[in-house]
Amino acid sequence: MPAVLDRLREAVGAAHVITEGDRSAWERDWRRRWHGLSLAVVRPGSTAEVATVVRTCAAAGVAIVPQGGNTGLVGGGVPDDSGTQVLLSMQRLNRIRSIDEANLTLTADAGCLLQALQQAAAQRGLLLPLSLAAEGSCTIGGNLATNAGGTQVLRWGNARELCLGLEVVTAQGEVWHGLSGLRKDNTGYDLRDLFIGSEGTLGIITAATLKLAPLPAATTTALAACTTLADCVALLTLARQRLGAGLTGFEVMGRLALDLVARHFTALPRPLPGAPWTVLLEQSDTEGEAAARERFEALLGTALEGGIVADAVVAQSLAQSQALWQLRESIPLAQAEEGLNIKHDISVPVSAIPGFVERADAALQARWPGVRLVNFGHLGDGNLHYNVQAPPGADGQRFLDDEEHAVNTVVFDEVARCGGSFSAEHGIGALKREELAARKSPVALQMMRAIKAALDPQGLMNPGRLL
């Protein structure tokens, strides 16, 4: 092993091969569910250095775990506890390579923070329409490796739909120069789409070209209180009819989710207290704020008259809009404060959501009376974070250890009955590997294993994750 470390030091500089001291920032995941031990944390500073690191590890038979911002929620970016895997941190690859205003594209290193890219685009009057609560810490490479979703998918799609080209270091340590700003390129198998969502198991994404859009003249938000989830879905249909492509966000928050925010973030406002369901709507407009607000008011007026909505507020300023978003984005943090919980990141057709929640709630309450269902998410694209927290006063760790498998079975069986997915946007990682093996069709699994064997025959790219 030491010989490998010497060669890695030669490749990236001794200061960037970390083998001592506290490495928990890299070795422990955001949820604090996994804490591994790496052979070394290696921090290359360029694509060429990444390629040298991969070739060095391949020659020595050492496995590599790629990591961006370490905000992943499925245990895919931290090493196992063997002390034999190299943790390849992408944080030093953080250069924006170019912005092409006429082509509406941005090309950047994979280790750039998502927020830094959003800001760079905004400075040119452009929008990078990928947005998630972890944007201040996650990297674009991690976003593409997990095909991240977030809050604007209903309008702009997942990370996959925003990516035009990739630069990748293959498992053999070769560089695939697939950066491209083309919207049309039908020249065979789509290798780009193979690496997007591959969670570091096929190669290392070192750079990407992303689609941009003109920055809207105004972005406004509104909050609506609904009595049932069916009303929330009816509001979505109405909002789509009235706002068309201007509707860029449609998030739902269950009462319990907002109760947790109120308990753990006492300074945040709670504009519509007590509503069983609260919807956060976002509208992006080319005309300006006053016009957008007027459209929101007309839409919500119709919804109030029709009885779909019980109460509503329209943000009157950017600060108010931000405060509404902060409510939504504080839910995962409030849940973490409340204790460990069983997280689900599921999707079903939007039309099936009310029935899914009703049946899953009933089945869980029947088996675990008092269990708390902290339900929130991206209703506009059919993705719920349907999280299960132990009954009040119960030990969260114990509930997780003893009941996770049984709870998952109840939830995922119901998801399957609705034609949904047990992993909508967070990926598979270490957490849902067995679920994938059990629930994905055998034909699909066979093709996935064939791809893995063809691109990574030594099995050294993020082993034990995904497949």
Q: Tell which one of 36, 44, 68, 464 touches ligand FAD (CB under 6 A).
A: 68
- If one asks whether residue 460 binds ligand FAD (CB under 6 A), the answer comes out as no
Q: Tell which one of 145, 279, 357, 460 touches ligand FAD (CB under 6 A).
A: 145
Mark 172-211 with x for binding to ligand FAD (rule: CB under 6 A) and - for no binding: ---------------------------xx---xx------
Subset of residues 78 to 137 that bind ligand FAD, contact rule: CB under 6 A: 90, 110, 132-134
Mark 396-435 with x for binding to ligand FAD (rule: CB under 6 A) and - for no binding: -----------------------------xx--x------
| Other CB atoms within 10 Å distance of the CB of residue 431 | 24
**What are the structure tokens assigned to 328, written together?**
């939504």
Helix %, strand %, coil % for the chain, to 5?
40, 20, 35
Cβ distance to ligand FAD smaller for residue 280 or 308 = 280
Cβ distance to ligand FAD smaller for residue 331 or 353 = 331
CB 346 within 8 Å of CB 422:
yes
Radius of gyration of the chain (CA): 23
- If one asks whether residue 71 binds ligand FAD (CB under 6 A), the answer comes out as yes
- If one asks whether residue 165 binds ligand FAD (CB under 6 A), the answer comes out as no
- If one asks whether residue 148 binds ligand FAD (CB under 6 A), the answer comes out as yes
Q: Tell which one of 44, 76, 249, 382 touches ligand FAD (CB under 6 A).
A: 76
Cβ distance to ligand FAD smaller for residue 32 or 124 = 32
Calpha distance 276→118 (Å, rounded):
34
Instruction: Name beta bridge partners: 251.
Output: 280
- If one asks whether residue 278 binds ligand FAD (CB under 6 A), the answer comes out as no
**What are the structure tokens assigned to 218, written together?**
């105004």
- If one asks whether residue 257 binds ligand FAD (CB under 6 A), the answer comes out as no
Taking the complex as a whole, the smallest distance from the CB of residue 275 to ligand FAD amounts, in Å, to 22
- If one asks whether residue 77 binds ligand FAD (CB under 6 A), the answer comes out as yes
**What are the structure tokens assigned to 426, written together?**
């967070």
- If one asks whether residue 36 binds ligand FAD (CB under 6 A), the answer comes out as no
Taking the complex as a whole, the smallest distance from the CB of residue 30 to ligand FAD amounts, in Å, to 5
Q: Tell which one of 70, 278, 321, 408 touches ligand FAD (CB under 6 A).
A: 70
Q: Tell which one of 8, 12, 17, 72 touches ligand FAD (CB under 6 A).
A: 72
- If one asks whether residue 342 binds ligand FAD (CB under 6 A), the answer comes out as no
Q: Which residue has the tokens 């974070």?
A: 385
**What is the sign of the dihedral through the CA atoms of 385, 386, 390 and 391?**
positive
Calpha distance 241→463 (Å, rounded):
46
Cβ distance to ligand FAD smaller for residue 289 or 381 = 381
Calpha distance 425→407 (Å, rounded):
20
Q: How far from 349 is each of 147, 248, 355, CA to CA, in Å?
A: 19, 18, 11
Taking the complex as a whole, the smallest distance from the CB of residue 136 to ligand FAD amounts, in Å, to 10
Q: Tell which one of 44, 79, 149, 246 touches ligand FAD (CB under 6 A).
A: 149
CB 85 within 8 Å of CB 38:
yes
Q: Residue 158's closest CA among 401, 463, 382, 371?
A: 382
Taking the complex as a whole, the smallest distance from the CB of residue 36 to ligand FAD amounts, in Å, to 12
DSSP string, 420-455: -BSBSSS--TTTTHHHHHHHS-HHHHHHHHHHHHHH
Subset of residues 310 to 339 that bind ligand FAD, contact rule: CB under 6 A: 332
Tally the residues of the chain. 467
CB 75 within 8 Å of CB 55:
no
- Compute how many residues bind ligand FAD; rule: CB under 6 A: 37
Listed in sequence order, the residues at least 6 apart from 410 whose beta carbon sits closer than 8 Å to its beta carbon are 360, 363, 364, 367
What residues make contact with ligand FAD under the rule CB under 6 A? 30, 65-73, 76-77, 90, 110, 132-134, 138-139, 141-143, 145-146, 148-150, 199-200, 204-205, 332, 425-426, 429, 462, 465
